Amino acid sequence: MARINDNYLKLKAGYLFPEIGRRVTAFSNANPDAKIIRMGIGDVTEPLPPAIIEAMHKAVDEMAKRETFRGYGPEQGYAFLRDAIAKNEYAARNCEVHADEIFVSDGSKCDTGNILDILAPGKENVIAVGDPVYPVYVDTNVMAGHTGQSNAKGEYEGIVYLPMTAENGFKASLPTRKVDVIYLCFPNNPTGAVIDRGALTEWVLYAKENDAIILYDAAYEAYISVDDIPHSIYEIPGAREVAIEFRSCSKNAGFTGTRCAWTVVPKALMGTNEKGEKVELHKLWMRRHTTKFNGVPYIIQRGAEAIYSDQGKQQVADLIAFYMQNAAIIRSTFTSLGMEVYGGIHAPYVWVKTPSAPGSSNRIDSWGMFDKMLRECHVVITPGSGFGASGEGYFRVSAFNSRANVEEAMQRIRTKFQ
Amino acid sequence: MARINDNYLKLKAGYLFPEIGRRVTAFSNANPDAKIIRMGIGDVTEPLPPAIIEAMHKAVDEMAKRETFRGYGPEQGYAFLRDAIAKNEYAARNCEVHADEIFVSDGSKCDTGNILDILAPGKENVIAVGDPVYPVYVDTNVMAGHTGQSNAKGEYEGIVYLPMTAENGFKASLPTRKVDVIYLCFPNNPTGAVIDRGALTEWVLYAKENDAIILYDAAYEAYISVDDIPHSIYEIPGAREVAIEFRSCSKNAGFTGTRCAWTVVPKALMGTNEKGEKVELHKLWMRRHTTKFNGVPYIIQRGAEAIYSDQGKQQVADLIAFYMQNAAIIRSTFTSLGMEVYGGIHAPYVWVKTPSAPGSSNRIDSWGMFDKMLRECHVVITPGSGFGASGEGYFRVSAFNSRANVEEAMQRIRTKFQ
């Protein structure tokens, strides 16, 4: 009988968001009149900007006429989009990233998983992730056979976890053992923390000294609100030789259901083969991308291009400002209740330390806080422990919502937690 | 230094279509006035049907309003599309395929490669492919480490090649050694051959007896023009226990640049783990699909749904009839020139045996025919040998083109080959 990939059986069943869904459904069934406000999953709520809508209508019309119809496009993405990205996202920030180093794709979630295809199978590379962490980084490494089994804390053997807590300012500290592949996500999901130039430079130097690769997920860079925080790792000298960057249109232009992203694999980035020879990762990813992917829909690429029109830029900026006003309301609510509040300044996520249980000096744990918020406020948050052991004692509140929902949720929370 | 996946280095550099592109560009540069007609790659040319255009405009408008905006959808695809597929593609043919066994994706090319993620890495499964074969099946197995190196004929060690030639009626004969995973593609790319119920039943029985899995690619099923040829492998009793089916909107509704497809993984289909226990492949693919994919754009899924409206069905049928009239013109041209012609009756590909070289009894080889057609007729065809050793001595002509181009190309060919 055909043999399956046994690594899948190492995956823990209770993926965070399905478990949240299960508890919310159970509560909702038991309390059908409760008006539940969801501030858990990081999904945008506001419509696509008009410039993008207009561009997509135009592209749909092009598909209706023989003269302008488009069949297979280049798997890496159309030049019109890659050029717009190279110019607006990289040249504008003095980053050396060429259009042919940009691979347009249908999502950063997909790419952060798929990138493992071009790295050695098995346990030859030591993988480091932040803790708490976006679960996909870990799960895809488990699937690829890069780990052993998980322990009672949910940590997988072989993965190096880099704690990010209030105690270290939510900086992922440099690993104490040599690692080969490092996932960094800034602005961070889930903590909302950012990394400054100095700290990111340390990571680039670490990677150079240790011949490691940084997988840099900057899906939330549009939320950075001051000048001295890097939007791209390629703002750091030398990063072209050590880093792959993942970027997305999901959280800036609202493409979570529209699907467009890109990955940068610089030509200067090398790995080694079994003989110890250097191999360009760009060539391997090009082969992977052209063999196992067929490009993003033409209509969607035209929508993504419109992000970079003058109108598109202004409309996307307005969207981000709207969500960041939500974040400010959330921050001030929890701050006013005396809780310790992080994130939410350069990121659409607010990361809050759980309060003490009533009449106790012990903090409520993450799932306890989740249940309490659901039961007492009918508000869904995300328990920090779902992102990793170091997330225990925290919870994440998403700023992606309508203003009315945010205000009502905060009002309920103020009433119950005062 | 981070270690790469050495399996990628086994891949031969000269992938078929890039090599064709290189030769066409060189010819075109040397002959700038030549009006080249491309009948090589299997890309559609006619605009999307009006019902699909209308549905996508409507969906774009929904994305412009907060009340109807869609963020993340279910990774497996929206129920409206999976239900439409289950009803129209499977229930209508008395196939037992449930909506929750259908996984909507962005392409069959992607899925035929990605499916290997859930199968054992390394060489535990013996893989069988037709010869000639769609190159992606082979290349993705090489990348996944399921093969050894390639030989001078371009065959990879460890893969079982099943010749499909005029001598065996283009049927992939049952393998003489036990295999675990079998790729079948009918109507076939590149030969245009079909498989009847009897022959497909033999394959299902083989798979049952040998505990093998069939990966059934039916991307061209819409071109089947008679009743007794199965459109889906699930028309064969017992196929639910042995087969995964790949289907696409690319070649029926013209979605090559619009991107929508689906894969069926029946819940009755099992593989074995390292302990020899049975494991549902459906569960593994669900985990893969939800972890490494984020769904097809909402707008595109609404376009795909419109394929199943009354108008959509008629418009898609008209599209297929148009391309099949092209195929008939191509068939009759080469037949009238005395060449041996296959395919093109239930498939948009005509598969032709190369003629003898002038003044010789030896046939021209595939690339020789490619060069001759390009040089003398300014027509691009696909050399059969590019699809595998058993494709040597054949060439593929695609019926995807405008009527004017097909007629002009055939006129040139008649003139030169008479």
Domain membership flag for residue B3:
no
- Closest Cβ–Cβ partner in B57, B70, B119 for A4: B119
Does B270 contact A1 at a Cβ distance shorter than 8 Å?
yes
Q: Does B339 touch chain A (CB under 8 A)?
A: no
Range of the domain at A98: 51-309
B184 and B110 in one domain? yes
Q: How many of the other CB atoms lie within 10 Å of CB of B209?
A: 10
Domain membership flag for residue B336:
yes
Q: Does A407 touch chain B (CB under 8 A)?
A: no
For chain B, what is the mean pLDDT?
A: 96
Mean pLDDT calculated for residue range B358-366: 90
Q: How many of the other CB atoms lie within 10 Å of CB of B197?
A: 12
pLDDT in tens, A42-87: 899 999 999 999 999 999 999 999 999 999 999 999 999 999 999 9
| Whether residue B50 has pLDDT greater than 70 | yes
Rounded to a whole number of angstroms, the distance from the CA of A91 to the nearest CA of chain B is 28
The residues, ordered by sequence, that sit 6+ positions from A328 with a Cβ below 8 Å of its Cβ are: A344
Rounded to a whole number of angstroms, the distance from the CA of B15 to the nearest CA of chain A is 10
pLDDT in tens, B238-273: 999 999 999 999 999 999 999 999 999 999 999 999
Helix A298-305 / helix B298-305 crossing angle, nearest 10 deg: 150
Is residue A2 within 8 A of residue B180, CB to CB? The reply is: yes
B106 and B211 in one domain? yes
Lowest mean pLDDT among A321-335, B1-15, B298-312: B1-15
Residues in chain B within 8 Å Cβ distance of A6: 120, 273-274
CA distance linking residue A380 with residue A20, whole number of Å:
8
Q: Which pLDDT band holds residue B41 (cuts at 50, 70, 90)?
A: confident
Residues in chain B within 8 Å Cβ distance of A181: 2
| Whether residue A175 has pLDDT greater than 90 | yes
What size, in residues, is chain B? 418
Domain membership flag for residue A2:
no
Q: Which pLDDT band holds residue B359 (cuts at 50, 70, 90)?
A: confident
What φ, ψ does residue A148 adopt, rounded to 5°? -95, -150
Q: Does B16 touch chain A (CB under 8 A)?
A: no
Lowest mean pLDDT among A235-249, B17-31, B68-82: B17-31
Quick check: helix, strand or coil at residue B113? helix
Mean pLDDT calculated for residue range B130-159: 94
CA-based nearest residue to A320, from A347, A302, A352: A347
Residues in chain A within 8 Å Cβ distance of B2: 119, 125, 180-181, 211-213, 271-272
Q: Which pLDDT band holds residue B357 (cuts at 50, 70, 90)?
A: confident
Domain membership flag for residue B61:
yes
B126 and B250 in one domain? yes
CA pseudo-torsion sign B332, B43, B263, B157: positive
Domain membership flag for residue A1:
no
pLDDT in tens, A17-44: 778 989 999 999 999 999 999 999 889 9
- Closest Cβ–Cβ partner in A2, A71, A295 for B180: A2
Rounded to a whole number of angstroms, the distance from the CA of B344 to the nearest CA of chain A is 21
| Whether residue B354 has pLDDT greater than 80 | yes
CA distance linking residue B315 with residue A307, whole number of Å:
34
Determine the residue of chain A that is closest to B69 in CA distance: A47
CA distance linking residue A205 with residue A239, whole number of Å:
9
pLDDT at B396: 98
% of chain A residues with pLDDT over 70:
99
Determine the residue of chain A that is closest to B258 in CA distance: A297
Q: Which pLDDT band holds residue B17 (cuts at 50, 70, 90)?
A: confident
pLDDT at A14: 63
How many structural domains compose chain B?
A: 2
Rounded to a whole number of angstroms, the distance from the CA of A262 to the nearest CA of chain B is 14
| Whether residue A165 has pLDDT greater than 80 | yes
Mean pLDDT calculated for residue range A291-301: 97
Does B4 contact A119 at a Cβ distance shorter than 8 Å?
yes
CA-based nearest residue to B346, from B204, B191, B201: B191
A398 and A254 in one domain? no
Contacts with B, A 254-293, CB within 8 Å: 254, 256-259, 270-274, 278-279, 281, 284, 287-288, 290-293
Which of these three, A284, A309, A334, is where a domain ends? A309
B135 and B262 in one domain? yes
CA distance linking residue A288 with residue A291, whole number of Å:
5
Mean pLDDT calculated for residue range B353-360: 90
Return the CA Rg of chain A.
22
Domain membership flag for residue B5:
no
Residues in chain A within 8 Å Cβ distance of B122: 121
CA B314 remoteness from chain centre? 23
pLDDT at B45: 96
Does B273 contact A180 at a Cβ distance shorter than 8 Å?
no
B281 and B345 in one domain? no
For chain A, what is the mean pLDDT?
A: 96
Q: Does A107 touch chain B (CB under 8 A)?
A: yes
Domain membership flag for residue B173:
yes
CA distance linking residue B20 with residue B68, whole number of Å:
46
Quick check: helix, strand or coil at residue A316? helix
B164 and B71 in one domain? yes
| Whether residue B14 has pLDDT greater than 70 | no
Mean pLDDT calculated for residue range B41-69: 97
pLDDT at B263: 98
Residues in chain A within 8 Å Cβ distance of B251: none
Does B294 contact A47 at a Cβ distance shorter than 8 Å?
no
Domain membership flag for residue A90:
yes
- Closest Cβ–Cβ partner in A71, A107, A402 for B44: A71
| Whether residue A278 has pLDDT greater than 70 | yes
pLDDT in tens, B77-134: 999 999 999 999 999 999 999 999 999 999 999 999 999 999 999 899 999 999 999 9
Lowest mean pLDDT among A242-246, B95-99, B122-126, B340-344: B122-126
A284 and A149 in one domain? yes
Residues in chain B within 8 Å Cβ distance of A256: 71-72, 294
- Closest Cβ–Cβ partner in B63, B110, B259 for A48: B63
A144 and A132 in one domain? yes
pLDDT at B377: 98
Quick check: helix, strand or coil at residue A220? coil
CATH code of the domain in which B85 resides: 3.40.640.10
B215 and B266 in one domain? yes
CA distance linking residue A246 with residue A183, whole number of Å:
11
The answer to pTM > 0.95 is yes
* Sheet strands (E) in B12-68: 37-38
State the SS3 of A195-207.
CCHHHHHHHHHHH
B280 and B190 in one domain? yes
Rounded to a whole number of angstroms, the distance from the CA of A129 to the nearest CA of chain B is 15
CA B237 remoteness from chain centre? 23
B410 and B329 in one domain? yes
* Sheet strands (E) in A254-409: 261-264, 270-272, 278-280, 341-343, 349-353, 379-380, 382-383, 394-398
% of chain B residues with pLDDT over 70:
99
| Cβ pairs bridging A and B (under 8 Å) | 264
The residues, ordered by sequence, that sit 6+ positions from B78 with a Cβ below 8 Å of its Cβ are: B104, B298, B301
pLDDT in tens, B164-213: 999 999 988 899 999 999 999 999 999 999 999 999 999 999 999 999 99
Which of these three, A247, A282, A309, is where a domain ends? A309
CA distance linking residue B106 with residue B108, whole number of Å:
7
CATH code of the domain in which B33 resides: 3.90.1150.10
Mean pLDDT calculated for residue range B128-142: 96
Which of these three, B274, B309, B344, is where a domain ends? B309
Does B46 contact A66 at a Cβ distance shorter than 8 Å?
yes
Residues in chain B within 8 Å Cβ distance of A46: 66, 69
The single-letter code of the amino acid at B315 is Q
